[in-house]
Amino acid sequence: MSEATLIQEASRVLEARLPAGWRQRLKALDSSRADGPDAILEVVGPDGSKARLAVEAKARLVPRAVADIKAQLDRYSSTPGLVVATFLTPSTRERLRAASLNYLDLTGNLRLVLSQPGLYVETQGAAEDPSPADEPGRSLRGPKAGRIARALCDFPPPLPISNLAVKAKVDISYASRVVEWLAREALLERRPWGPVQTIDRAALIRRWAQDYAVLTSNDSRTYLDPRGLDNLLRRLAQGAIRGRYALTGSLAANRLAPVAPARLAMLYVDDPGSAASALKLRPTEAGTNVMLLVPFDDVVFERTWKDRGLVLVAPSQAAVDLLTSPGRAPSEGEAVLNALARKSARPS
């Protein structure tokens, strides 16, 4: 799509979303100019008062580029500018909001805030790109991507791509593609052809949570322990399960960043049938207090740790599981992320 067409379509989208009585004119400027905005947006209020915004048009925009766009628009005007694009990902929109920039994409994602005349419009469009680029490694969906996310969160940088590939048990080319995409998403920093230098673990886990859900990415089964969670934990500590297991969810959060008493036990197991039998659990659809998960990948059993005889998943796994669980679990996930940021959620 040409820049002129993008601006024309953006004007149509904006016009349909302005409140009654408001008018707008989005006019493209001379594309041969290298020292000015791509367009000017004029917004007119019901009383005739006007605001003019500098506009930057991008077919595609990644979070890493937002800082440069901000600096560029600030050179044109002291009024917060407007960024238009064919599609803006949730992470890109979050960066634009943090930079106090207005934005609009052709799917209807819009944020327009004016002080004079006073206007606040925010609408939701598509959450996923309706016309994604044919580029592999642009999500964290699936076991291989999950192993990369876990390795980036669990091992300290600097982290050469070859080492990352070995730790995540993926091929180097795949690891390189995912890292390059994560760098564009401003979730990590990597020097050209060099190792990963810095990682925003909390942001990376939140981005992983967009492509992963603990109850659907894993095979989940619901049970009841009639004697309660204390009984379950006692039996686990006594070695009732012969095979592998790892506690996640609220019980893991309580040992990393306590928020509230756990009401549901979630644990990964290899064989839910034998685990349920060993723990004396009853299958149920109502009154569930135990959930057994057959994992999406064996990575959930890697880098586990022990506390009072119990095996728990790595903090990074607990965080993404909590962020994608129902009820109050996402707030517990945020507490774990905060603890990770303070490096207090790294069990010894």
Higher pLDDT, 11 or 131: 11
CATH number of the 3-123 domain: 3.40.1350
Summarize pLDDT for 265-322 with one digit per residue, the tens.
999 999 999 999 999 999 998 889 999 999 999 999 999 999 999 999 999 999 999 9
Residue 2: pLDDT over 90? no
Tokens of 326: 């129902």
pLDDT of residue 214: 96
Summarize pLDDT for 168-225 with one digit per residue, the tens.
999 999 999 999 999 988 999 998 888 999 999 999 999 999 999 999 999 999 999 9
Return the percent helix, strand and coil in the chain, to nearest 5.
40, 25, 40
String of DSSP letters for 73-89:
HHHH-SS--EEEEEE--
Average pLDDT over residues 37-53: 93
Q: Which pTM value belongs to this model? A: 0.72
Q: Which CATH number fits domain 143-209: 1.10.10.10, 3.20.20.70, 3.40.50.920, 3.40.50.300?
A: 1.10.10.10
Q: Hey, how many other C-beta atoms are within 10 angstroms of the C-beta on 21?
A: 9
Residue ranges, comma separated, of all CATH 3.30.460 domains in the chain are 214-341
User: Are residues 257 and 287 in contact, defined by beta-carbon separation less than 8 angstroms?
Assistant: no
Residue ranges, comma separated, of all CATH 3.40.1350 domains in the chain are 3-123
Q: Beta strand pairing status for 50-60 and 39-44?
A: antiparallel
Q: Among candidates 164, 170, 168, 173, which has minimal Cα distance to 195? A: 164
Rounded Cα distance, 218 and 261, in Å: 24
Q: Return mean pLDDT, the chain.
A: 91
Band of pLDDT at residue 344, cut at 50, 70 and 90: very low
Phi, psi (deg, nearest 5) at residue 28: -70, 145
Summarize pLDDT for 325-334 with one digit per residue, the tens.
988 999 999 9
pLDDT of residue 31: 61
Rounded Cα distance, 121 and 103, in Å: 11
String of DSSP letters for 234-286:
HHHHTT--SS-EEEEHHHHHHHHS--S----EEEEES-HHHHHHHHT-EE-SS
347 burial (CB, 10 Å; 0-12 / 13-18 / 19+) is: middle
String of DSSP letters for 179-223:
HHHHHHTTSEEE-TTS-EEEE-HHHHHHHHHTT--HHHHSEEEEE
Q: Beta strand pairing status for 82-87 and 245-248?
A: unpaired
Give the domain 214-341 fold.
Beta Polymerase; domain 2 (3.30.460)
Q: Among candidates 12, 37, 40, which has minimal Cα distance to 26? A: 40
Rounded Cα distance, 229 and 234, in Å: 8
pLDDT of residue 269: 96
Residue ranges, comma separated, of all CATH 1.10.10.10 domains in the chain are 143-209
Residue 48, helix vs strand vs coil = coil
